[in-house]
Amino acid sequence: MEMKGAKFALGGRSSFRTPAPAKTDWWPLTAIGLAVFMLMLDATVVTVALPDMAKDLHADLTDLQWVMNAYTLAMSGLQLTSGSLADRLGRRRLFLVGVALFAVASLACGLATTAAVLIGARIVQGLAGALMFATTLALIGQCYTGRNRGVAFGVRGTIAGVAVVLGPLLGGALIAWLNWRWIFLVNLPVAVVTLALGWAKLPRRELLEKRRRMDVGGPVTLAATLTLLMFALLRGTEDGWSSTRIMLLFSGAAVSFVAFLLVERAHRDPMLDLSLFRIPSFTGTQIGSFAVQGSIFALFVYLSLYFQSVLGYSAMRAGLCFLAVVVPILIAGPLVGQFMDKLPRRLLVTGSLLLLGTGLVVMHGITPASDWKDVAPGMAMAGFACGIALPTLGSLAVEVADERRLGMASGVNNTVLQIGFAMGIAVYGAVLARYGTTRTDFIDGLNQLFLLAAAVAYGGALITFLLIRPRPRR
């Protein structure tokens, strides 16, 4: 029986659907994992290179802020669009295009001679990253089933978490041994291997939405919403949260978001099918993902500042301190993947968010006499919680959608992750700015951030418990 609005495609031609890759074929996951590692690493590896960049490129503080934020802004703005395009054009095709473009942009970053060139290349990196990242969850859902799917989501979530926290450590090592340009140039060999594996091993036959009308208004209004929102969040502390400029930016973001909802509701084939949010488990999954990124991961920037600026650690030593988070993620991620299909998803998500919040509370209470050992137990608890939460949430994000909307569901989840990370950084920075500039002031502010992040995690735990159903309805 023909499925309305869809057809099986191989290189643009109709064909019969073929079975998913064999259960023992982990090469597709290898390609996906390498891509995820590159993407998430580049989100944080830049933090330890900013002083050297400023010196070599004669960049000021504003330039350095945009070197950090241009990547996240571009990636979050195109995530959902990329997921929808993947459902139309093919997830494998978009993934490979993204990897190739990311390699070119990384080369441009490494060769940049001015701050403007570096910022422009970082924007292209973010756009390419959106093409890659938006397809990873969907490709896993397409390639694996049953227990193997749980393992694959566990591995992907572990890789993402480890890459984020290893960024400062690897960046510090590359800068110490070579120079800051190699934090970008190191992507080139990884991209070549990823392209080769992806071309050879990712499935060519996919169930695509070939007959859907192109949604132009959705991408435009969504990009405007996220751009205005991110500008407001990034400029709020400097310009003042009640300033006319910031109020106009927030108002513009709100108007654009309403326009986006109206466009998607009216369009026959929308980029975002709003009916997905009628599924409680899908909505709960997005809130849980936001809570994880908006709590512990958004704190990494300020923990790095604490280790380097307050405790006086080198970039390398500060990176080593994050092993307290990395090791538990490495343990919990693959472990939960083994049993994900047998355990209640609501229990896994809610329990991990409760553990995450508790870990943040344990980190609270540092004093001027404290060092990294005083926050390490809480970091370990938070890392173990992330190792459980990330793969479980990633799996839920695509399980609630049918195969034709895998890219869309994946794009929504990745957009939420990026927004949670960016909003967390902005809000925590605004809270920290209310305190003074002394060592004691910073520590007092950081203690406040621990409690605020814990409240985000606990709130996420409550909402996910209420929304996520034992068995998500398709």
- With CA atoms as reference, report the closest residue to 143 among 300, 33, 283: 33
Counting beta carbons within 10 angstroms of the beta carbon of residue 329, is it exposed (0 to 12), middle (13 to 18) or buried (19 or more)?
A: buried
Of 249-258, 271-280, 329-338, 443-452, where does mean pLDDT reach its minimum?
Answer: 329-338
Q: DSSP label at 21?
A: P
Residue 198 sits at φ, ψ, to 5 deg, of: -65, -40
Residues shown for the chain: 474
How far apart CA 447 and CA 360 sit, in angstroms, is 10
What's the CA gap between 141 and 144, in Å, rounded? 6
- Pure H helices in 90-186: 91-111, 115-143, 146-177, 182-185
Structure confidence at residue 16 (pLDDT): 37
Structural contact between residues 343 and 363, judged by C-beta atoms closer than 8 angstroms: no
Q: How far apart are CA 325 and CA 222, in angstroms?
A: 34
pLDDT digits (tens, 9 = 90+) for 157-191: 778 777 877 777 788 788 878 888 998 998 999 99
pLDDT given for residue 469 in this prediction = 73
Fold of 26-201+273-467: Growth Hormone; Chain: A; (1.20.1250)
pLDDT of 379 reads 92
- pTM, rounded to two decimals: 0.73
Whether the per-residue pLDDT at 270 is higher than 80: the answer is: no
Q: Of 55, 54, 85, 78, which Cα lies nearest the Cα of 67? A: 54
Given a cut of 50, whether residue 12 has pLDDT beyond it is no
pLDDT band at 447 (very low <50, low <70, confident <90, very high): very high
Q: How wide is the angle at C-alpha 150 spanned by C-alphas 398 and 160, nearest 5°?
A: 75
Q: How confident is the model at residue 340 (pLDDT cuts 50, 70, 90)?
A: low
Euclidean distance between CA atoms 251 and 256, whole angstroms: 9
Measured CA to CA in angstroms, residue 26 lies from 23, 186, 392 at distances of 8, 24, 19
For residue 328, what are the CA distances in angstroms to 162, 363, 382, 387, 454?
A: 10, 16, 8, 7, 19
Give CA–CA dist 222/381, Å, rounded.
36
Q: How many CB atoms lie within 10 A of CB 404?
A: 18
In this predicted structure, what is the pLDDT of residue 104? 94
Q: What does the alpha-carbon distance between residue 68 and residue 309 come to, in Å, rounded to a whole number? A: 19
The DSSP bridge partners found for residue 207 are: 8
**CB atoms near residue 226 (< 10 Å):** 25
pLDDT band of residue 19 (cuts 50, 70, 90) is very low
Number of H helices, E strands in the chain: 18, 3
The confidence band for 403, taking pLDDT boundaries of 50, 70 and 90, is: low
- Residue range 262-266: average pLDDT? 82
- Write out the H or E segment, with its range, that includes residue 296: none
Which one-letter amino acid corresponds to residue 181?
Answer: R
CA nearest neighbour of 90 among 125, 164, 142, 45 = 142
According to DSSP H, which parts of 178-216 are helical?
Answer: 182-185, 187-201
Q: Of 183, 392, 401, nearest to 275 (Cα)?
A: 401
Distance, in Å, from the CA atom of 207 to the CA atom of 213, rounded to the nearest integer, reads 16
Rounded CA separation 413/94 (Å): 17
- Whether the CB-CB separation of 388 and 332 falls below 8 Å is answered with yes
User: Could you tell me the sign of the dihedral formed by the alpha carbons of 248, 250, 251, 256, in that order?
Assistant: positive
Domain spans, the chain = 26-201+273-467, 216-272
Residue 4 reports pLDDT greater than 60 = no
The H-or-E segment that residue 8 falls in is strand 7-10
Residue with tokens 């090469």: 27
Which residue type, as a one-letter code, is found at position 246? I
Q: Under a CB-based contact definition with an 8 Å cutoff, are residues 193 and 27 in contact?
A: no
